[in-house]
Structure 1
Amino acid sequence: MSGSIWMPPGARPDTLPAVPRQRTAPSWAQPDPLDELAERLDDFIAAAVHPDEIAALLESDGLSDDQIRERYGVKNSFALAEELYERVERRFPEPDGPVHDPWQVGLLGCLLRGVVFALPGLGYVLGAPLLAGPRDDVGLPAGTVPLLASALVGWMWNQGLAHRAYAWLGLGDRSAARRALLLGAPVGALLGALVALTVAGAAHPAAVAFAAGQSVYLGAATALLVMGRERALLTALLPMAAGTVLALVHPVPEPARLILLLGSLAVVAVLGLREVAPLKGRGAASGMRLPPRGRDQPRHSSRRDTAMGPRLSASLPYALFGLATGVLVLYAALGDVLTDEQRSAPAAVALTLSMGPAEWLLYRFRSSSLAGLRSSSTPRAFRRTTVRTVTRCLVGCLVTLLSLSLATSALWPHAPGVSGVRLAGLLLLGVVLWTGLLLQSFGAVLGAATVCCGAALAQTVAWLTHTGSPHWVGLIVHGTAAVAQTALVCALLGRATAHR
């Protein structure tokens, strides 16, 4: 019967069969939006170690909780992430080529940064005769108050400025980073000089001038360090360092000291200005948009950040962290009731030099955590990996600080024996600084700033009220802050999104 048309019984042969009405598919046959989303994000979901990674991706795509409830029938992005995590089987495919690791840095570069951090301290040795005079009302050497006030303002301002410039670099806009440094560095230098002038009191005008030069240096050095010009900064500081070494073995006239200080300052300022100024001849490079660099990428960036730039308020916690850690380091540097700078100078030098290796160990941890994300198949396994890694890095940081502290105490002229309480307080301060940097890299700078500000305030109150021995106060304050920040780090170690 091929070629014949089947007709229902009773139908007339001269009429065509009725076209059947299209039926609506039952609700159970409708495609599930969750299945469609899981299929679209299959590769990412399969490689996720924890649902929080998926939630972060959903939020970065701009999905609000209202949209999620309307489209997928779940409460929020975290509930949706958990549902997707359950629907997709875990797979961890090996990449086709070499894995990109933005946290890979060389040890030599970090050691160079540590030396660059420490070398400016030689300027105080070279300029000491220029600041000679009677102690002030609180027993500090002449000119110390304006120098300290200017330094603290500079550390606070330039820490926030560096974050803003790095945020622009993370968004790929190098010219915007230059503009931020070009505008921000002079403002910070002026603010530091004004603060020094305000608190100078009866201090010699040379102290105010020295503090103003210190503020200019901090702004210019920040610009060079952010733009990756450590070698240029080191070269500019070498004449001053050589003059300081010469002054330790042979008297150097005051005019020569002044020339060395002003010469290095002028070179650093010119290099910093040249690096950030929109000079002719940069060509298209001055306005090009670079691909984001991993360690410069701001945490939790959004489309608004990309379109309008990073918010100014986002840099405030970094500025507060810089101020608080500056206060803690100054207390460690000035030592016994802030009256005997010779006793604690080796500790300050060791702490500053250790920042280079500490930075490298931080990068090593972040690099290892990325490798742990690729090799771990469960959140528990990933947490075990990160705990072991952070423990090794923290121990390495403390061993480095201990070695530098013992070496500088042995080599420093007329330095007393190392006190156990002082050394313990210094090591705990090292823990505070390193865990604070780690929290910053996790995007939890607000927690680090809160802990460090509390510690700095407590130590200041203890000094003003003459409560207890400075060494024991430092030990207690640093120990409490170290415990608090270590707890914050432990709370974040198992969160895969903190390591992306």
Structure 2
Amino acid sequence: MGPPARTASPPAGGGLADDPLDELARRLDGFVAVAVHPDEIAAILESDGMTDEHIRLTYGRADSFSLAEDLYARVERRHPEPSAPPSGAWHSELAGCLLRGLVFALPGLAYVLAAPLLAAQHGRFGLPAGTVPLLAGAVTGWVWNQALSHRAYTWLGLGDRAAAARALLIGAPAGALAGTAVALATAAPGELPAAVFAAGQSLYLAAATVLLVLGRERALLGALLPLTGAVPALRWDLPDVLRAGLLLASLAASVALAALVLRPGARRGAAGRGGPPRAASLPYGLFGLGSGVLVLHAGVADTLVTGAGAVIALTLSMGPAEWLLHRFRYGALARLRTLTTAREFRRAVTGTLVLCLGGYLTVLLALTLAATLAWPGAPLPTLPRLVTLLLIGTVLWLGLLLQAFGAVLSAATVCLLAAAAQTVHPAAGPLTAGGAAAVLAALTCALLVRPTAHRA
């Protein structure tokens, strides 16, 4: 909450106070008392239009930073106690994040069901036949739906759920068409089955985006249940008709549920105001492109099952990753209210960052080993592959953290450069991922150790 008054005008009646700085300190007492660093005070002074000339003439200080330091020294720190989270908050948030991780990973079973249906003779670029249109359609969907999700979430943040639904109603089908068109355009002769599957994949991604943005994770989980038929397919051969039926049932359920929740967006005039600028969503799409390509590279292993285990682990880990992002943010806010110096805050936030990142990498490692052991006949990943996977996980988690604090363009740029370098030189995977992780770690520390980064 801001100060009761944020103005430097002289008091009404009478002349100036004996010391104008004392008067300003009284007026800004509520804000200055909870500031962790003088920079927070300088920012509010500048936002109120105080120029350096005004500060020199009125308060005898050189600039806003000098004035802020004096105010910071004059007012005693009075940080309110952090409010206790609601009962069971961490448990409910963890359950929700784990549910999201599950619905992120379950679609991978569709590839197990579809594998015999997509068999072809010749592949390209050293990949199995049909891989190129599948990857092209998937990456297109990731880019489009990341940007679309940001725009819809922005509408939700403005309190206009109908406008968010309207944006999804227009954007989701357009994304499905774009993914289908790219898959068909990149399909070679003999890869038509893969292109058809990629079209279904694009349609599913559009429907899943709608359900996830509008908070219908449980409904999406129900739509994905037919895909669990892939579990027996890991050991036994299933009839092609049954495989196709399970895939179509899950796709149809996802699309039907998405259409159902989009009814508010179909109402006339639901779009409301002109809305946030579309260009603001572009960096989120670029981040989806970079991170998606990195995940695909993690799935390119010496054997199919090793690569599949890495991708399964990364997708399942997104649930715990989201929860740990919440933990970091809440932990930083609690320390912002209780600590009295910027040095204490920097140390505390750095420690919280290390613990949360370490927790995520521990979960990712455990999921990787579990996925490998659960896959029949899968060899354990080598140490270099594990190191590369953990570095990619570091890039993804730190990128998501920067995105949550508004530094999405920086995160997207680093991910895109890393993805491009790894595409050009696949053998340089550990070096590329390590460099990207180091850059993102430096950016994170530079941004998030500042108290002002955590002020709402």
Deviation at residue 38 of structure 1 after TM alignment: 4.3
Match of 2:447 in 1: 492
State the distance in 2 between where 1:123 and 1:233 align.
Answer: 14
Change (3 A) 1:367 1:259: same
Give the match's secondary structure for 1:424: helix
Does structure 2 retain, via aligned residues, the 8 Å contact 1:350–1:404? yes
Match of 1:254 in 2: 240
Change (3 A) 1:288 1:216: closer
Does structure 1 retain, via aligned residues, the 8 Å contact 2:163–2:265? no
Match of 1:267 in 2: 253
Residue identity over aligned pairs, in percent, reads 57
Match of 1:136 in 2: 123
Establish whether residue 316 from structure 1 lines up as the match of residue 282 from structure 2: yes
Deviation at residue 373 of structure 1 after TM alignment: 0.6
Match of 1:9 in 2: none
- The one-letter code of the counterpart of 2:294 is L
Match of 1:479 in 2: 434
Match of 1:369 in 2: 332
**Greater CA deviation, 268-277 or 427-436?**
268-277
> How much is the aligned-residue C-alpha RMSD, in angstroms?
2.9
Change (3 A) 1:176 1:39: farther
Does structure 1 retain, via aligned residues, the 8 Å contact 2:142–2:292? yes
**Greater CA deviation, 41-50 or 356-365?**
41-50
Deviation at residue 451 of structure 1 after TM alignment: 0.9
Match of 2:78 in 1: 91
Q: How does 1:95-174 map to 2 (within 5 A)?
A: 98=84, 106-174=93-161
Does structure 1 retain, via aligned residues, the 8 Å contact 2:167–2:265? no
Match of 1:416 in 2: 379
Change (3 A) 1:76 1:458: farther
Match of 1:402 in 2: 365
Change (3 A) 1:78 1:454: farther
State the distance in 1 between where 2:163 and 2:71 align.
Answer: 39
Q: Deviations over 1:381-408 (max 9, x none)?
A: 1111111111111111111111111122
State the distance in 2 between where 1:84 and 1:184 align.
Answer: 50
Q: Which runs of 5+ in 2 are unaligned?
A: 1-12
Match of 2:298 in 1: 332
Establish whether residue 351 from structure 1 lines up as the match of residue 314 from structure 2: yes
Q: Deviations over 1:115-139 (max 9, x none)?
A: 1110000001101111111132322
- The one-letter code of the counterpart of 1:196 is A
Deviation at residue 39 of structure 1 after TM alignment: 3.6
Change (3 A) 1:106 1:447: same
Does structure 2 retain, via aligned residues, the 8 Å contact 1:161–1:315? yes
Match of 1:3 in 2: none
Deviation at residue 412 of structure 1 after TM alignment: 1.3
Establish whether residue 176 from structure 1 lines up as the match of residue 131 from structure 2: no
Change (3 A) 1:214 1:57: farther
Give the match's secondary structure for 1:426: helix
Match of 1:42 in 2: 29
Q: Deviations over 1:198-219 (max 9, x none)?
A: 1112243221111111111111
Deviation at residue 288 of structure 1 after TM alignment: 12
- The one-letter code of the counterpart of 1:256 is L
Deviation at residue 57 of structure 1 after TM alignment: 4.9
State the distance in 2 between where 1:38 and 1:189 align.
Answer: 57
Deviation at residue 349 of structure 1 after TM alignment: 1.1
Establish whether residue 384 from structure 1 lines up as the match of residue 347 from structure 2: yes
Change (3 A) 1:396 1:204: same
Deviation at residue 277 of structure 1 after TM alignment: 2.6
- The one-letter code of the counterpart of 1:483 is A
Match of 1:51 in 2: 38
Q: Which of 231, 238, 261 matches 2:218?
A: 231
State the distance in 1 between where 2:408 and 2:126 align.
Answer: 35
Q: Deviations over 1:164-220 (max 9, x none)?
A: 111222222222221221111111111111111111122432211111111111111
- The one-letter code of the counterpart of 1:493 is L
- The one-letter code of the counterpart of 1:324 is G
Q: Deviations over 1:295-352 (max 9, x none)?
A: xxxxxxxxxxxx863222221111111100100100111224xxx4233111111111
Change (3 A) 1:327 1:279: closer
> Rg larger in 1 or in 2?
1
Does structure 2 retain, via aligned residues, the 8 Å contact 1:174–1:288? no
State the distance in 2 between where 1:252 and 1:75 align.
Answer: 79
How many correspondences in the alignment? 437
How high is the TM-score relative to the length of structure 1?
Answer: 0.80
Q: Which runs of 5+ in 1 are unaligned?
A: 1-24, 290-306, 464-469
Change (3 A) 1:237 1:375: same
**Greater CA deviation, 187-196 or 269-278?**
269-278
Match of 1:453 in 2: 416
Deviation at residue 92 of structure 1 after TM alignment: 1.6
State the distance in 2 between where 1:82 and 1:175 align.
Answer: 47
- The one-letter code of the counterpart of 1:314 is A
- The one-letter code of the counterpart of 1:352 is T
Match of 1:195 in 2: 182
Give the match's secondary structure for 1:127: helix
Establish whether residue 440 from structure 1 lines up as the match of residue 395 from structure 2: no
State the distance in 1 between where 2:210 and 2:53 align.
Answer: 48
Deviation at residue 453 of structure 1 after TM alignment: 0.8
State the distance in 1 between where 2:254 and 2:97 align.
Answer: 20
Change (3 A) 1:187 1:31: farther
Change (3 A) 1:110 1:55: farther
- The one-letter code of the counterpart of 1:446 is L
Does structure 1 retain, via aligned residues, the 8 Å contact 2:165–2:265? no
How high is the TM-score relative to the length of structure 2?
Answer: 0.87
State the distance in 2 between where 1:87 and 1:308 align.
Answer: 46
State the distance in 2 between where 1:312 and 1:80 align.
Answer: 39
Does structure 2 retain, via aligned residues, the 8 Å contact 1:380–1:494? no
Deviation at residue 87 of structure 1 after TM alignment: 4.6
Q: Deviations over 1:347-390 (max 9, x none)?
A: 11111111111111111111111111111000001111111111
Deviation at residue 81 of structure 1 after TM alignment: 4.8
- The one-letter code of the counterpart of 1:45 is V
- The one-letter code of the counterpart of 2:215 is G
State the distance in 2 between where 1:308 and 1:68 align.
Answer: 34
Does structure 2 retain, via aligned residues, the 8 Å contact 1:190–1:215? yes
- The one-letter code of the counterpart of 1:334 is V
Change (3 A) 1:425 1:45: same
State the distance in 2 between where 1:476 and 1:315 align.
Answer: 30
